[in-house]
């Protein structure tokens, strides 16, 4: 399974932009069940970025590209703002790095103090545990890439199916804002995705290609748009296709050459191994960031990282054929300065990782050779080394190899600790309390900010509100049409 580390800016970009978008998207909103959580730091190891394989920045982040398309198709007032099309240059992902994957500004390592016993860190076994839900998320993410081309079209929809649909909603014969997918298509899972009333259940029995009306009634309490409360609506709906079923035959036919999977069991076993490796990487770097002390932030490197992020946003807007103002407005941002500010903390963290990596490399005489890079891609079962190097630059690629080499070295000397029952119970209680607080806050924010775009999300109980809000922060795609994470 390919698990090449996504580039730092792109790995964090979906989180930053989705947070900016909140619940203000212009498509139909639901709780995505098939997407993968976007990286919350530059340490996230995820599926290989699709744009790196195609050498197209517009395709690197499926969510961001879809958001751009939605913003373009749904914008009716962009002419009132700046309408000059963005002329974007390709971002330089290797900015601040040499071709050896080292810091150009070597003196930055003077800012950090590395503990003498840094390699003897303790890592909790709970931080490395892989859940069935995580395996399923990764499985669904891979399956989503084949959903359209291998989608089922010769049988009726049944309960539990993941289905791609389009719809146009009307009340009293008139379309209303946010009640349409704008022909973008959206994936829903019957029995899991949260829609109003029995919307999804009415898909059952219909075949792909059929267009029919779904009749629903909005809840009497509907904070997303009080104008819709209690009203009857008709959604003219088309079933596009049903996601393919994951079987051994499907794996052999579609995934064997790309991922090396031999069967469903083999697929899930390898996904589990890669998730474990990802968690090891994340745990090591989380500990290093916590244990190493900085006299001041590496601002110069962080500023470069932020500009990479800005340049990437400009390129996405340009490739989508819209202005940067239109692109930013989709994410509730008024200017590029807003974008820089939203990304600042992530840029600082990435810069600190690079400085720590350089300091450890200097201390331990770690060099990244061409053979190390080749071995890295071989380990990841990825044959696109040259494509990655062309797209990201050799400096960035070697820095990612350096980060992985350091994590692998430390895992050999780290101590894996087991939590006691009391510690586990306490941690679970604290986590549950934190989740409830976070979910409640996000739900309140959602009620204030949500437009009619979320007209199909059912928030009739407190528990559903909390679950939807929490999931939205990590899984809902930026497009609002809820395409699964790429």
Residue 54 in this model has a pLDDT that exceeds 80: no
Maximum Cα–Cα distance across the chain: 72
pLDDT at 156: 95
pLDDT at 9: 46
Print burial letters for 43-66: b (CB count within 10 Å at least 16), e (below 16): bbbbbbbebbbebebbbbbbbbbb
pLDDT at 258: 83
Closest CA to 26 of 322, 341, 435, 462: 322
Q: DSSP code of 99?
A: T
pLDDT at 84: 41
Q: How confident is the model at residue 363 (pLDDT cuts 50, 70, 90)?
A: very high
| 461 vs 205, residue with greater confidence | 205
Burial (CB count <10 Å: 0-12, 13-18, 19+), residue 340 = middle
Q: Where are the beta strands (DSSP E) in 253-311?
A: 293-294
Residue 49 in this model has a pLDDT that exceeds 70: no
pLDDT in tens, 390-405: 999 999 999 999 999 9
pLDDT at 378: 84
pLDDT at 420: 59
Q: How confident is the model at residue 22 (pLDDT cuts 50, 70, 90)?
A: very low
- As a whole-number percent, the residues of the chain with pLDDT over 90 amount to 53
Degrees to nearest 5, angle at CA 399 with 398 and 401: 60
pLDDT at 190: 93
Residues linked to residue 382 through DSSP beta bridges, in sequence order? none
What SS3 class is residue 212?
strand
Are 361 and 102 within 8 A, CB to CB? yes
Q: Which of 80-89, 236-245, 270-279 has the lowest mean pLDDT?
A: 80-89
Q: How confident is the model at residue 445 (pLDDT cuts 50, 70, 90)?
A: very low
Pairwise CA distance, residues 246 & 471, whole Å: 24
Pairwise CA distance, residues 465 & 134, whole Å: 22
pLDDT in tens, 299-337: 999 999 999 999 999 998 888 888 999 989 888 899 999
pLDDT at 430: 53
- Give the pLDDT mean for 141-152: 90
Domain boundaries, the chain: 8-114+292-405, 147-243+440-470
Q: Which of 138-142, 242-246, 444-448 has the lowest mean pLDDT?
A: 444-448
**Across 3-7, 8-12, 225-229, which has the greatest mean pLDDT?**
225-229
- As a whole-number percent, the residues of the chain with pLDDT over 70 amount to 68
pLDDT at 87: 56
- What is the DSSP secondary-structure string of 445-479? HHHHH--GGGTT----SHHHHHHHHHHHHHTS-TT
| 84 vs 48, residue with greater confidence | 84
Closest CA to 106 of 296, 291, 294, 300: 300
Closest CA to 346 of 10, 43, 41: 41
- Give the pLDDT mean for 429-458: 39
Any residues with CB less than 8 A from the CB of 422 and at least 6 apart, and which? none
Helices and strands per DSSP (H, E), number in the chain: 16, 9
Residue 227 in this model has a pLDDT that exceeds 70: yes
Chain centre distance of CA 475: 7
| 95 vs 58, residue with greater confidence | 95
**pTM (predicted TM-score):** 0.67
Pairwise CA distance, residues 15 & 85, whole Å: 25
Average pLDDT of the chain, as a whole number: 75
pLDDT at 177: 83
| 199 vs 382, residue with greater confidence | 199
- Reply yes or no on domain 147-243+440-470 having CATH 3.40.640.10: no
Residue 237 in this model has a pLDDT that exceeds 90: yes
Pairwise CA distance, residues 13 & 313, whole Å: 9
């Amino acid at each position: 399974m390919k698990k090449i580390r996504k580039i730092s800016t792109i790995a964090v970009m979906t989180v930053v932009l989705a947070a900016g978008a909140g619940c203000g998207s212009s498509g139909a909103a639901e709780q995505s069940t098939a997407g993968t959580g976007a990286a919350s730091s530059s340490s996230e190891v995820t599926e290989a970025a699709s744009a790196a394989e195609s050498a197209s920045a517009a395709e690197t982040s499926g969510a961001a590209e879809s958001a751009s398309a939605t913003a373009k198709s749904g914008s009716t007032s962009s002419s009132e703002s700046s309408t000059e099309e963005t002329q974007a240059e390709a971002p330089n992902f290797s900015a601040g790095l040499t071709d050896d994957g080292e810091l150009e500004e070597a003196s930055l390592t003077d800012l950090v103090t590395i503990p003498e016993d840094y390699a003897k860190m303790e890592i909790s076994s709970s931080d490395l545990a892989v859940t069935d839900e995580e395996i399923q998320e990764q499985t669904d993410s891979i399956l989503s890439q084949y959903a359209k081309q291998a989608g089922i079209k010769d049988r009726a929809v049944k309960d539990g199916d993941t289905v791609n649909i389009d719809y146009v909603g009307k009340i009293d014969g008139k379309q209303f804002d946010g009640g349409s997918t704008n022909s973008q298509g959206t994936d829903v899972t019957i029995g899991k995705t949260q829609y109003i009333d029995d919307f999804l259940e009415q898909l059952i029995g219909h075949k792909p290609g059929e267009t029919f009306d779904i009749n629903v009634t909005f809840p009497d309490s509907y904070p997303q748009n009080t104008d819709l409360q209690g009203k009857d609506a008709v959604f003219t709906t088309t079933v596009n296709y049903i996601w393919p079923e994951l079987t051994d035959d499907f794996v052999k036919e579609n995934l064997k050459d790309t991922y090396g999977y031999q069967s469903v069991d083999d697929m899930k076993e390898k996904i589990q191994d890669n998730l474990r490796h990802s968690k090891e990487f994340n745990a090591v770097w989380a500990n290093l960031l916590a244990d190493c002390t900085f006299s001041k932030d590496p601002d110069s490197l962080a500023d470069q990282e932020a500009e990479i992020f800005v340049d990437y946003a400009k390129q996405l807007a340009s490739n989508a054929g819209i202005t940067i103002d239109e692109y930013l407005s989709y994410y509730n941002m008024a200017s590029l300065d807003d974008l820089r500010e939203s990304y600042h903390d992530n840029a600082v963290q990435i810069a600190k990782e690079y400085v720590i990596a350089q300091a450890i490399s200097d201390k331990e005489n770690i060099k990244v050779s061409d053979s190390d890079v080749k071995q890295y891609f071989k380990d990841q079962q990825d044959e696109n080394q040259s494509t990655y190097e062309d797209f990201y630059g050799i400096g960035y690629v070697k820095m990612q190899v350096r980060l992985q080499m350091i994590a692998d070295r430390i895992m050999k000397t780290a101590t894996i600790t087991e939590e006691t029952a009391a510690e586990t119970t306490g941690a679970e209680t604290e986590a549950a309390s934190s989740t409830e607080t976070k979910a409640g806050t996000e739900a309140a924010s959602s009620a204030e900010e949500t437009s009619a775009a979320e007209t199909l999300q059912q928030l009739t109980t407190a528990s559903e509100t909390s679950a939807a809000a929490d999931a939205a922060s990590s899984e809902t795609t930026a497009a609002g049409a809820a395409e699964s994470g790429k």
